Amino acid sequence: MPHTRTRRTVLTTGTLLGAGALLGAAPADATGRVLAERRLNDRLVELTVDSPALGSRSTVALLTPRGWDRRRPGDRWPTLYLFAGGDGDHTTWTNLFRVQDLAQLRDVLVVMPSMPLFGFWTDWWNHGKGGAPRVRTYFLREVLPLVEHSYGAGPDRAAAGESQGGFGALGLAARLPGLFGAVAAFGAPVHPVRHPEMWLSGAEFVGVDGYAIFGDPWKQWKTWLDWDPHHHAQSLRHTHVYLASGDGTPGPFDSDEPDPHIPGTEKWVALADKGVVSVTEAVCGEETRMLSDRLTALGAPATTHIYPGGHTGTYGYRELRHALPMLTTALRR
């Protein structure tokens, strides 16, 4: 059944639209417009959105709950937002994570936005010029208001993300307390200012200018810190958090082949523990431990799982199911 009202204090869409200081320099009229709506099956709907914030079209997939097709004005469902990893592919959640198979989500609206390649769920610095892609603004001022106004998304929200999506979910939760009742991150860079060479090199490896995202970490370090989840951990004290990461050693779902070598990461390769085959995940694991320790010291309600494994979405399939009771409990408040 849809929820027609919330049972806890949350940020409303109006509050989000008015949070100019947190949303950065994006114009107040940045609003997405649905260009096409396509039904893929009995539950999955795909929206093509014209996004001023991204300067391009984007895709937002909706996994709809029971009764959604018969919704009336004012009907609202608890909503789980799932943030894509660095490839920006929203279909990972249905193709690899198989969220449509989860009975616990049958009465939850699941919103899965796409993201530009290596967009890092942030408004790009663009060498001081700003402008598109404004990935954070895309979510806050386009996706979220759109689905809450027209598609039955309610103010009871939780979020999860893999890799860069985990960074995005935690960063939003930390800078906008109350936006999500619970948040989960799987194999995510949750303290990227700690290992800037890793993320700058990763961007270059896939053909993206990493310095355009956050700037130079030594010159624009305040930009790097701005949405670093570890730096804003204190704001997560009242948000239920699930953190999961591999340690970079081979796990049960990994092949025997090491990750491709990424030029520029030689320092972290040299410092990696013996047996590490995924330096990217080893770094994510170290950052996850650091954030976990910080949240524990703050008395925050956090659960952490570090396991043998590399940087693949296969582990996110398992970890999402571990996190699901926490996420759905937050949606029932």
Q: For the chain, what is the radius of gyration of the CA atoms?
A: 19
The pLDDT assigned to 29 comes to 47
Average pLDDT over residues 72-96: 95
pLDDT tens for each residue of 229-283: 999 999 999 999 999 999 999 988 887 677 788 888 888 788 888 888 899 999 9
Residue-range domain boundaries for the chain: 30-331
Q: Are strands 44-51 and 33-39 parallel, antiparallel or unpaired?
A: antiparallel
Name the residue with higher pLDDT: 28 or 202.
Answer: 202
Given strand 240-246, what is the order of strands in its sheet? 33-39, 44-51, 56-63, 109-113, 77-83, 153-162, 182-186, 240-246, 302-307
Per mean pLDDT, which range of 1-5, 285-289, 321-325 is the poorest?
1-5
How would residue 19 be classed by pLDDT, with cut points 50, 70 and 90?
A: very low
Per mean pLDDT, which range of 4-18, 255-269, 308-322 is the poorest?
4-18
Q: What is the pTM of this model?
A: 0.92
Fold category of 30-331 in CATH: Rossmann fold (3.40.50)
Residue 249 three-state SS: coil
Percent of the chain with pLDDT over 90: 77
Q: What is the mean pLDDT of the chain?
A: 90
CA angle 299, 301, 307 (to 5 degrees): 110
Cis peptide before 189 (omega within 30 of 0): no
How would residue 89 be classed by pLDDT, with cut points 50, 70 and 90?
A: very high
* Per-residue tokens: 310: 């590399």
Name the residue with higher pLDDT: 197 or 12.
Answer: 197
> Residue 75, exposed/middle/buried by CB under 10 A (0-12, 13-18, 19+)?
middle
The pLDDT assigned to 253 comes to 85
Q: How far is residue 197's CA from residue 210's CA, in Å, rounded to a whole number?
A: 10
